[in-house]
Amino acid sequence: MTDATRAVGTKETAGAQPLWSNLLPHSTHARVLFLIRGLAILGLIVAALTTPGFFTAVSLFSLLNTTSFIGCVAVGMTFITLSGNIMSFSLGVTLSTSGIVFIAALPLGLVPAIAIALCFGAAITGLQGVVVGYFRANPIIVSMAALALITGCATLITQGRGVYPEGGAAAILKARVLGIPMPVAALVTTAIVAQLVLSYTRFGRHLYMVGSNWRAALAAGLEPARTVLGAYVAAGICTAVAGILMAARYSSGDMELGIGYDYSAISAVLVGGTAISGGEGSALRSLVGAFIIAVCQVLLLLHGFSTQIQYLAIGIIVLLVIMLQTLADSN
Amino acid sequence: MTMSDQRAPAREVADSGAAPIVGVRNISKTFGPIAALKNVSLEVSAGEIRGICGENGAGKSTLVKILTGVYRPDSGDVVVDGKAVSVATPRQAQEHGIAIVSQELSLCPDLSVEDNIWLGSMRVPFLHKQQSLRQRAADALTLLGAGHIALDAPVGSLSMGERQLVEIARLLCRDARVLILDEPTATLTDVEIERIFAALLALKREGRSVLYITHRLAEVYTICDRVTVLRNGELIATEPLATLSQTALIELMLGRPASEMYPDEHQILGTPALVVENLSLPNIVERFSMTVHRGEILCIAGQVGSGAAEIVSALAGLVHNASGRVTINQRPLQLGSSARAAKSGIMFVSGDRASEGIFRRLNVLQNLIATRLRDYSLYGLLRIGALRAAAERLAKQVGVDRRRLRSRVEDLSGGNQQKLAFGRNLEKAKHGVLLMNEPTRGIDIGARAEIYRLMRSFCDQGYALVLASSDLEEIVGIGDVVVTLYRGRRVGAYRRNEISMHRIVADITHPTGAAP
* Percentage with pLDDT > 90 across chain B: 31
Q: Which residue of A has its CA nearest to B371?
A: A220
Helix (H, G, I), strand (E, B), or coil: what is residue B294? coil
DSSP SS3 for A175? coil
Cβ-proximal residues to B44 (8 Å cutoff; 6+ apart), any chain: B20, B21, B22, B23, B50, B178, B209, B211
Search chain B and give the residue with CA nearest A206: B370
Statement: residue B149 has pLDDT above 70: yes
Q: What are phi and psi of A79, to 5 degrees?
A: -60, -45
Burial of A167 by CB count in 10 Å (0-12 exposed, 13-18 middle, 19+ buried)? exposed
CA distance B360 to B42: 48
Shortest CB distance from A202 goes to which of B357, B374, B402? B374
pLDDT (tens digit per residue) in A217-233: 999 999 999 999 999 99
The burial of B266, by beta-carbon neighbours within 10 Å (0-12 exposed, 13-18 middle, 19 or more buried), is given as exposed
Flag if A218 and B374 touch (Cβ within 8 Å). no
Confidence class for position A308, pLDDT limits 50, 70, 90: confident
- With an 8 Å Cβ cutoff, are B359 and A216 in contact? yes
* Statement: residue B336 has pLDDT above 60: yes
A23 to chain B, any CB pair closer than 8 A? The answer is: no
What type of residue sits at position A3? D
Extract the runs of DSSP E, i.e. beta strands, from B383-463. 433-437
Rounded mean pLDDT of chain A? 86
Residue in A closest to B338 by C-alpha: A221
pLDDT for res B8: 39
| Residue B35: strand, helix, or coil | strand
Is 0.90 topped by the overall pTM?
A: no
Binding-face residues of A in 188-217 toward B, CB within 8 A: 200-203, 205-206, 208-209, 211-213, 215-217
d(Cα B125, Cα B444) in Å, to the nearest integer?
Answer: 55
Give me the residue from B355, B357, B361 closest to A279, CB to CB. Answer: B361
Of A116-125, A143-152, A311-320, the range with the lowest mean pLDDT is A311-320
- Does the CB of A52 have a partner CB in chain B at under 8 Å? no
Tell me if B119 sits within 8 A of B181, measured CB to CB. no
Contacts of A6 in chain B (CB under 8 A): 406
| Residues B24, B385: Cα–Cα separation, whole Å | 68
Lowest mean per-residue pLDDT among A164-168, B77-81, B231-235: A164-168
At B292, is the secondary structure helix, strand, or coil? strand
Q: Which of B495, B458, B380, B37 is nearest to B236 (CA)?
A: B37
Confidence of residue B402 (pLDDT cuts 50, 70, 90): confident
Residue B463 near residue B274 (C-beta atoms within 8 A): no
Closest Cβ–Cβ partner in A9, A203, A278 for B405: A9
B55 pLDDT above the threshold of 80: no
Considering only CB atoms, which chain A residues are within 8 Å of B317? 221
Judge whether B155 and B163 are in contact, CB under 8 Å.
Answer: yes
User: Of A2-6, A285-289, B261-265, where does the model show the most confidence?
Assistant: A285-289
- Is B377 within 8 Å of A201 when comparing Cβ atoms? yes
Q: Give the torsion sign (CA, B492, B495, B498, B504).
A: positive
Quick one: what percent of chain A has pLDDT higher than 70?
A: 89
- How many Cα atoms within 13 Å fall on the side-chain side of residue B418? 26
Strands B464-469 vs B285-293: parallel, antiparallel or unpaired: unpaired
Contact B371 A216 (CB under 8 A): no
Inter-chain residue contact B358 with A213, CB threshold 8 Å: yes
Q: Is the pLDDT of residue B413 over 90?
A: no
Number of cross-chain residue pairs from A and B with Cβ atoms under 8 Å apart? 100
Nearest-angstrom CA–CA distance, A70 and A242: 8
Q: Which of A6-15, A185-194, A266-275 has the lowest mean pLDDT?
A: A6-15
Helix axes A202-212 and A182-200, enclosed angle (nearest 10): 80
Q: Which of A67, A51, A78 is nearest to A294 (CA)?
A: A67
Residue of chain B whose alpha carbon sits nearest to that of A226: B339
DSSP letters for B199-247: HHHHHHHTT-EEEEE-S-HHHHHHH-SEEEEEETTEEEEEEEGGG--HH
Give the pLDDT confidence score for residue B32 in this predicted structure.
Answer: 65
The band of B95, judged by pLDDT with boundaries at 50, 70 and 90, is confident
Write B450-456 long-range contacts (CB < 8 A, 24+). Answer: B450/B398, B450/B399, B450/B415, B450/B419, B451/B415, B451/B418, B451/B419, B451/B422, B452/B477, B452/B478, B454/B398, B454/B419, B454/B422, B454/B426, B455/B297, B455/B422
Cα nearest neighbour of A210 on chain B: B359
3-state secondary structure (DSSP) of residue A178 = coil
Chain B residues within an 8 Å CB radius of A211: 361
Instruction: Look at A221 and B371 and tell me if their CB atoms are within 8 Å.
Output: yes
Please say whether the dihedral angle defined by the alpha carbons of residues B398, B404, B405 and B409, taken in this order, is positive or negative.
negative
> Reduced to 3 states, what is the DSSP secondary structure of residue B513?
coil
A219 vs B356: CB contact, 8 Å cut-off?
yes
Q: In terms of CA atoms, which chain B residue is nearest residue A275? A: B361
pLDDT tens digit sequence for B115-148: 888 887 766 666 666 778 888 888 888 888 888 8
Look at residue A89 and give its three-state secondary structure. coil
**pLDDT of B34 above 80:** no
Residue A15: per-residue pLDDT? 36
Chain B residues close to A222, C-beta within 8 Å: 338-339, 342, 370-371
Q: Which of B320, B338, B426 is the best residue to mutate to test the A interface, defined by the most A CB atoms within 10 Å of its own CB?
A: B338
Q: CA-to-CA distance for B97 and B84, rounded, in angstroms?
A: 14
Mean pLDDT to the nearest integer, B421-439: 87
Rounded to 5 degrees, φ, ψ at B380 are: 85, -10
User: Measured between alpha carbons, how far is B368 from A66 in angstroms, rounded to an integer?
Assistant: 41
Choose, out of B406, B407, B424, the residue to mutate when testing the contact with A (most A CBs < 10 Å): B406
DSSP state of B380: T
Quick one: closest CA in A to B375, which residue?
A: A202
| CA distances from residue A237 to A75, A152, A317 in whole angstroms, order as listed | 10, 21, 28
How far apart, in whole angstroms, are the C-alpha atoms of residue A302 and residue B196? 77
Q: Mean pLDDT, to the nearest integer, of B308-333?
A: 93
Average the pLDDT over B354-358 and give the result.
Answer: 88
